[in-house]
């Protein structure tokens, strides 16, 4: 019998999409408070459970969306997302979304779905550690392209890329990454470091775009090997490209550490088994009534109960 997957959910990736995908006016609590992010997030998780049939599920949290150790290496890392007048870790988040996150966590707790994070690490690092240490198969639901690097056909680890929403998932294996970017999944992090990623504040190497970055990774395998070849005057670099890479040595020495997700984060021990019924039915009913969430809560409970009977 084929083993059912461990589903790892990039929580912030999904609830940001839920918030911006559903108007606040379309989902409100009785007191008028918006619950659009909660409603959308719960429905996304329910749909993932129905369609992917996991037997284990963990939601990963950003305990630190901009870790100091990454910023120390590349100060521009996510700097464009800092709130004006805030501290070095104050992200621009709509107030009406920020207020809904504790409610999302309360519903997950009442259902019995673990949501975990780690101090000084992003959700990506939590996911990377779980994808590496937990038995496969593993499926990661996220709209973050950085997680392409986790794909591993042997284990297997797949990325359910939801950049266009959970309803239009792209089920990605290594072939999908190679077809889209011209590099294997194992080379995606170095590829991203070379070409840069404005969404994360990574400058990349000036003058190196997707095609050149893919060609370099395909030829040398990784940035370390490429830099070693750069020291060889007989290596076949065009003079212009050699100059660009040489000028970016300091950046290239640290960029892979910033882009690669951590795979050895110390995490709390949790029971990842998908519940077949709510862990605290009374608490869930109270939340559903207080916040006008009866529909999405019911759909989530239906999804876990039916998934428990899947073979």
For residues 196-213, b (16+ Cβ closer than 10 Å) or e, as one string? beeebbbebbeebeeebb
**237 and 102 part of one domain:** no
- Grouping H, G, I as helix, E, B as strand and the rest as coil, residue 276 is coil
| Distance separating alpha carbons of residues 84 and 98, to the nearest angstrom | 17
Q: How many CB atoms lie within 10 A of CB 244?
A: 16
pLDDT tens-digit series, residues 45-64: 999 999 999 999 999 999 99
CATH number, position 216: 1.10.150.20
Q: How many domains in the chain?
A: 2
Question: Per the domain annotation, does 58 fall within a domain?
Answer: yes
pLDDT for residue 310: 59
- On whether residue 1 sits in a domain, the answer given is no
* Distance, CA of 189 to CA of 257 (rounded, Å): 9
Domain that holds residue 51: 6-183+264-308
- For the entire predicted model, the pTM comes to 0.95
Which pLDDT score is estimated for 1? 53
Segment (H or E) for 281: helix 281-291
Query: So what's the pLDDT on residue 309?
Result: 67
Stretches in the chain below the pLDDT threshold 50: none
């Amino acid at each position: 019998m084929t083993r059912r997957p461990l589903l790892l959910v990039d929580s912030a990736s999904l609830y940001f999409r839920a918030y911006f995908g559903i108007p606040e006016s379309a989902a409100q609590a009785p007191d008028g408070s918006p619950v659009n992010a909660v409603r959308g997030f719960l429905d996304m998780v329910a749909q993932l459970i129905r369609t992917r049939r996991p037997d284990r599920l963990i939601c990963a949290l950003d305990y630190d969306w901009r870790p100091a150790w990454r910023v120390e290496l590349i100060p521009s890392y996510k700097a464009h997302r800092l709130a004006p007048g805030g501290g070095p870790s104050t992200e621009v988040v709509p107030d009406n979304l920020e207020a809904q996150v504790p409610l999302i966590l309360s519903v997950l707790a009442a259902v019995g779905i673990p949501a975990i994070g780690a101090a000084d690490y992003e959700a990506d690092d939590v996911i990377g550690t779980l994808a590496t240490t937990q038995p496969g198969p593993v499926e990661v639901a996220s709209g973050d392209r950085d997680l392409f690097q986790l794909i591993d056909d042997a284990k297997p680890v797949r990325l359910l890329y939801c950049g266009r929403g959970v309803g239009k998932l792209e089920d990605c294996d290594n072939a999908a990454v190679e077809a889209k970017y011209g590099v294997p999944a194992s080379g995606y992090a170095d590829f991203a470091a070379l070409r840069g990623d404005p969404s994360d504040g990574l400058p990349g190497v000036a003058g190196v775009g997707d095609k050149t970055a893919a060609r370099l990774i395909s030829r040398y395998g990784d940035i370390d090997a490429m830099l070693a070849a750069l020291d060889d005057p007989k290596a076949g670099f065009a003079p212009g490209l050699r100059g660009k890479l040489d000028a970016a040595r300091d950046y290239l020495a640290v960029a892979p550490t910033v882009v690669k997700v951590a795979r050895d984060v110390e995490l709390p021990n949790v029971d990842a088994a998908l519940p077949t019924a709510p862990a605290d039915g009374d608490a869930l009913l109270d939340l559903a009534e207080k916040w006008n969430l009866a529909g999405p809560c019911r759909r989530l409970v239906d999804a876990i109960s039916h998934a428990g009977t899947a073979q």
